[in-house]
Amino acid sequence: DAGVTQSPTHLIKTRGQQVTLRCSPKSGHDTVSWYQQALGQGPQFIFQYYEEEERQRGNFPDRFSGHQFPNYSSELNVNALLLGDSALYLCASSLVLAGGGNEQFFGPGTRLTVL
Amino acid sequence: QKEVEQNSGPLSVPEGAIASLNCTYSDRGSQSFFWYRQYSGKSPELIMSIYSNGDKEDGRFTAQLNKASQYVSLLIRDSQPSDSATYLCAVNMMAGGGFKTIFGAGTRLFVKA
């Protein structure tokens, strides 16, 4: 049973560029959430996708956008990169449950460095 | 006030001791609570989930939830050096048909051999 996968593993960009990160959820999961984790901090919620729509969004600017495909995989796009966007980007997948448990499982992450 | 608060540590315990990790949260409507373990350079790994008041045990781990006090804790019995990691408390906040998960900053645990 494949877990959550993310690509690429590492990425180096320069200020002002655009980046796309990819995520495939765990088999059977239908919800994908994206997080940004700066060094020494907990993951910060960016947004969540379910049924190909953004359902929830954290306090991130519009430079951060995403997409979910019919096979439940997802992309995170960041435009006009800033030095402060350097972080570990985590994708987590879950299955919507009527009781709202929603255990999330994380992928290995993409380490983004903006120079 | 932060939505989810944890002591940053580091918490240092000797091998074989009980490690106690604590977390408080601000949203009284929260229903789902999680503990993740994160080794340096790795992604978070789910170790416990708890939804009802009281204790939930899984092997050496026990999660405790007190919704009235808005408090969640994790006990690790017979601590091992391999338990040395950052422990993240996470709370699901339901809204608009979906949920968002708020993480604490994490508590670093060191288990001394």
User: Residue B24: its pLDDT value, please?
Assistant: 97
Under a CB-based contact definition with an 8 Å cutoff, are residues A45 and A60 in contact?
Answer: no
Cβ-nearest to B98 among A56, A99, A107: A56
Q: What pLDDT, in 10s, does the model give residues B73-92?
A: 999 999 999 999 999 999 99
Average pLDDT over residues A85-96: 93
Q: How far apart are CA B42 and CA B50, in angstroms?
A: 23
Give the nearest chain A residue to B46 (CA atoms).
Answer: A105
Q: pLDDT confidence of B66, banded at 50, 70, 90?
A: very high
Cβ-nearest to B104 among A42, A88, A107: A42
Q: Which residues of B touch A43 (CB under 8 A)?
A: 44, 88, 103
Rounded to 5°, the CA angle B63-B48-B77 comes to 55
Average pLDDT over residues A34-58: 94
Under a CB-based contact definition with an 8 Å cutoff, are residues A80 and A16 in contact?
Answer: yes
Write the DSSP string, A26-90: PTT--EEEEEEE-TTS--EEEEEEETTEEEEE-S--TTEEEEE-TTS-EEEEE-S--GGG-EEEE
A62: how many CB neighbours lie within 10 A of its CB? 7
Q: How far apart are CA A68 and CA B71, in angstroms?
A: 35
Give the nearest chain A residue to B98 (CA atoms).
Answer: A55
Is the pLDDT confidence value at A11 over 80?
Answer: yes
Average pLDDT over residues B9-34: 94
Under a CB-based contact definition with an 8 Å cutoff, are residues B91 and B25 in contact?
Answer: yes
Q: pLDDT confidence of B93, banded at 50, 70, 90?
A: confident
User: Residue A2: its pLDDT value, please?
Assistant: 78
Average pLDDT over residues A8-33: 96
Q: Report the relative pairing of strands A110-114 and A10-13 from DSSP bridges.
A: parallel
Give the nearest chain A residue to B93 (CA atoms).
Answer: A100
Average pLDDT over residues A38-61: 93
User: Residue B99: its pLDDT value, please?
Assistant: 77
Q: pLDDT confidence of A1, banded at 50, 70, 90?
A: low
Q: Which residues of A touch B101 (CB under 8 A)?
A: 33, 45, 92, 102, 104
Is the pLDDT confidence value at B96 over 80?
Answer: no
Is the pLDDT confidence value at B61 over 70?
Answer: yes
User: Residue B4: its pLDDT value, please?
Assistant: 95
CB contact under 8 A, A40 and B43: no
**Paired residues of A111 in beta bridges:** A10, A88
HSE-up (13 A, CA, CB side) for residue B87 = 29
Q: What pLDDT, in 10s, does the model give residues A63-73?
A: 999 999 999 99
Q: How far apart are CA B6 and CA B16, in angstroms?
A: 23
| A72's tokens | 């439940």
Q: pLDDT averaged over chain B?
A: 94
Tokens 């700066």 correspond to what residue? A38
Please check whether residue A55 touches B, CB under 8 A: yes
| B26's tokens | 């601000």
Q: How far apart are CA B30 and CA B100, in angstroms?
A: 10
A40: how many CB neighbours lie within 10 A of its CB? 10
Average pLDDT over residues B43-65: 96
User: Residue A102: its pLDDT value, please?
Assistant: 81
Average pLDDT over residues B39-60: 95
